[in-house]
Structure 1
Amino acid sequence: MTIDPRSPFGLLLTAICIIAFAYLILPILVVVVAPLGDTGYLAFPPKGFTLRWYAAALDDTRYLSGFLTSLQIGGAVALLSTIIGVLAAYGLSRYDFPGRSLIEALFLSPLILPTLVLAVSLSLFFTRTGLLTGTGRLVLAHIIVCTPYVIRVTLPVLRRFDRTLEEAAQNLGASPIQSFFLILLPVIKTGIIAGCVMAFITSFDEVVLALFLASPGEPTLPVIIYSAVQLGFEPTVAAVSGLLVILTCVFMVLYQILGVARQD
């Protein structure tokens, strides 16, 4: 059923969409625009115009070091969480065994567990066992949190997958491993990519676990921003957030351009 956008109901839906987008986008726009003012404090609309706060954010080695650390941790967590999550989702979707529902609930339990509780528990666990030190503790903690996102995204895709495609490939001589990599993965790759991106974003933005488990010598960017806010919300901190927003927008535009070029 199509809705005429000029009808009263269509106009109402259009107004609701505009309000929803404004509610989501305007706060982000404030973060990007506010550091452009030449005052020593944040104000919106900004008073005057200057790029010195953005320049100060780029010149501050703390933020660059934290960004690179978060990027490395997020990349490692996204890769490992995707591998673990896809394999777990594959087993949960393909095999019927006793306790499958319980195991699935256990895999997804970190989604409902408060992050602070998990951070305290893991901090005590690593302190008593000495299992990992430094950044490795944070990577493992982020894997625990991010893997459920991958499972939650890929599990429905795997359950909707037509298994007759694999059976046809195996009837034509493909081994189960070949059919997995040549038939299954290409079909569900959109779900895998979505889960991987969600895992990376969750790891990159996570602050509570990083506060408890990150190495003091290699803090992540959210920890550095959090510490800077505790001392006073300077325009430089907002400029760092604005740079992250701009970088995200650049990646989104490039993704859309590549998608259009691929369709052509």
Structure 2
Amino acid sequence: MIYLLVPIAVVVVSPFGDTGFIAFPPQGLTLKWYAAALNDGRYLTGFLLSLRLASIVALISASLGMCAAYAITRYDFPGAKALEALFLSPLILPTLVMAVALTAYFTRSGLPTGTWRLVAAQSIICIPYVIRIVLPLLQRFDRSLEEAALSLGATPIRSFFLVLVPVIRPALIAGAAMAFITSFDEVVLALFLSVPGQTTLPVMIYSSVQLGFEPVVAAVAGLLVCLTGVVMVIMHFFGLRTRG
């Protein structure tokens, strides 16, 4: 735990230093770098864009991933295993190869430039995470529960949403969260497919680091770490309250 958490602590604590460069332990004590990060509209714009993209990608990935996992587990057809392998194949492909291939494909397909190219590309790499998480739970699901609902007069659609979805909800939420995190942190696809004026926050941080690792960049990263920690604590207490 110390090995994992110390580098994160360095990123959060270093911007408190009064020097114009990253130093640990920090020399002096100031909040000017965090204030500069909060007052810089570029980072806020990039954060909001990344947040919007990640939310859309998580919703699309959860929906399509659940449908794909349901079809693979419920319908016995030739090539089901091959289809499953095809859906999961983006997990083993290097992101750089995927970015180059998608850039060439989108150029030939005529898909309008903009954020929707990035949404489509990130969904391709995020859907497999949802399938991989939801699939085992669907394979263990007791189908007699659905049969009981159908025998009591429920339609297949009502049975799906009232019986199956509540059972797989934890896996679905976990898959959507994984898709959200993957989309929010994605750099390579965003570098290839982003358009001028629509730069995500990870790309901004990456570009700033290439020019020089300034305390403001570390402050932005520290704010992301703190925000993630707050969300994790809220989810933890919400989970405890739900189980209680």
Same-fold status (TM-score > 0.5): yes
TM-score range, shorter chain: over 0.9
Q: Secondary structure at the match of 1:188?
A: helix
Q: What is the alpha-carbon distance in structure 1 between the residues aligned to residue 40 and residue 147 of structure 2?
A: 57
Q: What is the alpha-carbon distance in structure 1 between the residues aligned to residue 238 and residue 80 of structure 2?
A: 40
Q: Which amino acid aligns with 1:89?
A: A
Q: What is the alpha-carbon distance in structure 1 between the residues aligned to residue 106 and residue 112 of structure 2?
A: 7
Q: Equivalent residue for 2:157?
A: 177
Alignment gaps of 5+ in structure 1: 1-20
Q: Secondary structure at the match of 1:46?
A: coil
Which of residues 106, 117, 125 in structure 2 aligns to 1:145?
Answer: 125
Instruction: Kindly indicate whether residue 92 of structure 2 is the aligned counterpart of residue 112 of structure 1.
Output: yes
Q: Secondary structure at the match of 1:215?
A: coil
Instruction: Kindly indicate whether residue 140 of structure 2 is the aligned counterpart of residue 160 of structure 1.
Output: yes
Instruction: Kindly indicate whether residue 216 of structure 2 is the aligned counterpart of residue 236 of structure 1.
Output: yes
Q: What is the alpha-carbon distance in structure 2 between the residues aligned to residue 201 and residue 65 of structure 1?
A: 18
Q: Which has the higher contact order (CA 8 A, sep 6+)?
A: 2
Tell me by how many angstroms 1:132 deviates: 2.8
Q: Which amino acid aligns with 1:39?
A: T
Q: What is the alpha-carbon distance in structure 2 between the residues aligned to residue 125 and residue 196 of structure 1?
A: 26
Q: Equivalent residue for 1:35?
A: 15
Q: Equivalent residue for 2:194?
A: 214
Q: What is the alpha-carbon distance in structure 1 between the residues aligned to residue 47 and residue 116 of structure 2?
A: 17
Q: Secondary structure at the match of 1:40?
A: coil
Instruction: Kindly indicate whether residue 83 of structure 2 is the aligned counterpart of residue 90 of structure 1.
Output: no
Q: Which amino acid aligns with 1:235?
A: P
Larger Rg: 1
Q: Under a length normalisation based on structure 2, what TM-score does the superposition of the two structures give?
A: 0.98
Q: Equivalent residue for 2:168?
A: 188
Q: What is the alpha-carbon distance in structure 2 between the residues aligned to residue 237 and residue 243 of structure 1?
A: 10
Q: Secondary structure at the match of 2:129?
A: helix
Superposed CA RMSD in Å reads 0.9
Q: What is the alpha-carbon distance in structure 1 between the residues aligned to residue 125 and residue 236 of structure 2?
A: 29
Q: What is the alpha-carbon distance in structure 1 between the residues aligned to residue 241 and residue 169 of structure 2?
A: 19
Instruction: Kindly indicate whether residue 75 of structure 2 is the aligned counterpart of residue 67 of structure 1.
Output: no
Alignment gaps of 5+ in structure 2: none
Q: Secondary structure at the match of 1:71?
A: helix
Q: Under a length normalisation based on structure 1, what TM-score does the superposition of the two structures give?
A: 0.91
Q: Equivalent residue for 1:8?
A: none
Deviations 1:48-82 (A, max 9, x none): 11111111100111100000000000000000011
Q: What is the alpha-carbon distance in structure 2 between the residues aligned to residue 234 and residue 216 of structure 1?
A: 23
Instruction: Kindly indicate whether residue 34 of structure 2 is the aligned counterpart of residue 54 of structure 1.
Output: yes
